[in-house]
Amino acid sequence: MMELIPAIDIIDGKCVRLTQGDYTQKKIYNEYPLDVALAFENIGIKRLHLVDLDGAKQGKIINYKTLEKIASKTKLNIDFGGGIKTNEDIESVFGSGACIATIGSIAIKDPDLFLNWLKKYGTEKLLLGADVKNEKVAINGWLETTNVSIIDFIKTNITNGINTVFCTDISKDGLLQGPSIELYKKILSAFPSLNLIASGGVSNLSDIEELKQIGCSGVIIGKAFYEGLITLDDLKKLAAC
């Protein structure tokens, strides 16, 4: 069974979506993220992907209050990312109610710190995020592309004990033109036992089915929901399967 993980991206405390990671292409969908989270919970969704886009851009967590509010008012298992850079940050994320901390940039910029977190919290409490542009990992809210290939990045972290990764192809994100199937096939071919969560480009139910067929263990659903291409009823039926 593939896990459905709707996303809420936050800027200025509001639910937004970007296009291809471009902060100038911001669209506000709801000023009250808690209402969106409650709608997901009410149809049987168990997991939420909550992203602090302000935090990702500024390199420090900004939207603590949104995390606290959703965590205290719902029973959703929240994975939270964006701006987690220090020991104090990750402690605050868990203290604010997140079940899982989503880590991306630090795994590239300070792998020793990330390894310490793995040892301290365990792999079940950390979700490794790999944002990709032309198969190279991007960091700092997608604003900087590294020379590290996605395959090498995953290989290094599997060695460190990671077994779950979510991967976003920035070129697909927000365009509603389908996910990066070939990229995911390549990753799963290299790492058959990896739990791969697909993110970016999902535009309809057929995309979700195709990701399931190629072996993805989960899918993050964002803009397709907010634009009405995948409805709450659709998610309810899928969640019940």
Residue 230 phi/psi, 5-degree rounding, is -125, 120
- 29, two tokens: 């969908």
Q: Mind telling me the catalytic residues? A: 9, 131
| CA dist., res. 98 & res. 71, Å (int) | 7
CA 140 to chain centroid, in Å, comes to 14
Q: What does the DSSP assignment read for 54-114?
A: HHHHHTS---HHHHHHHHHH---EEEEESS--SHHHHHHHHHTT-SEEEE-HHHHH-HHHH
**DSSP β-ladder status, 22-30 and 14-19:** antiparallel
> What is the residue type of 6?
P
Residue 53 burial (C-beta neighbours within 10 Å; 0-12, 13-18, 19+)? buried
Q: Are 167 and 206 within 8 A, CB to CB? A: no
Q: Are 68 and 96 within 8 A, CB to CB? A: yes
- Stated as kind and residue range, the H or E segment containing 15 is strand 14-19
- 101, two tokens: 């901390």
| CA dist., res. 189 & res. 204, Å (int) | 25
- 215, two tokens: 């072996």
